[in-house]
Amino acid sequence: MRVVLVDAGGSNIGSVRYALQRLGVEAELTGDVAAIRAADRVILPGVGAAAVCMARLRELELVDTLRTLESPLLGVCVGVQLLFAHSEEDDTPCLGLLPGRVRKLPVSPGIRVPHMGWNTLQRHRDSALMEGIGEGDHAYFVHSYAAPVDDDCLCSSEHGERFAAVVQRGRVAGAQFHPERSAGVGARLLRNFIEYGLQ
């Protein structure tokens, strides 16, 4: 099993790599097109701004590689936002592997943005990616932007409004929360991705 982490920049790459090591998986950090295409599983992490991450992918000439990838692809944090067609953040065109727009979470009395901390997951539909992750389980979030709840949403969470916490369409999936900081839930999501792929 060959697992790669796409070097899209972002401070969470090391912690995602360590989370995989705890599962017995040595993931290669790479921006090389051939290495990414040859992988059995591809993870796209990201922290920071969507525009900065997309610029990094363009610089490495990885946009078309990710758009045409045949292996299962998992986006994490900003990485999941990049899977969508567009992000409101800096009016950024993204990969377009999932339809829809990523929007800023609304600020309201008692609701701070960015959304930081543990929050509850609500399941919407079954998937091998969600095996062993139950209704009401908790995951750790740090984000200001999020994708809408639609037919591709496996589970959601709520912060001011309900948003997609895990999404999947075919071979493409993503988690808005940080699996490397989400204890058992995060470890299970990563293990499911490695063991089952995206079915």
The catalytic residues are 77, 178, 180
Phi, psi of 43 (to 5 degrees): -115, 130
Q: How many C-alpha atoms does 113 have within 13 Å on its Cβ side? A: 14
Rounded Cα gap, residues 89 and 55, in angstroms: 13
Q: What angle do CA 10, 116, 172 make, to 5 degrees?
A: 55
CA distances to 18, 44, 47, 113, 176 from 21, rounded to whole Å, are: 5, 16, 20, 32, 21
Give the pair of three-digit tokens for residue 165: 């916490």
Cα Rg, the chain, nearest whole Å: 15
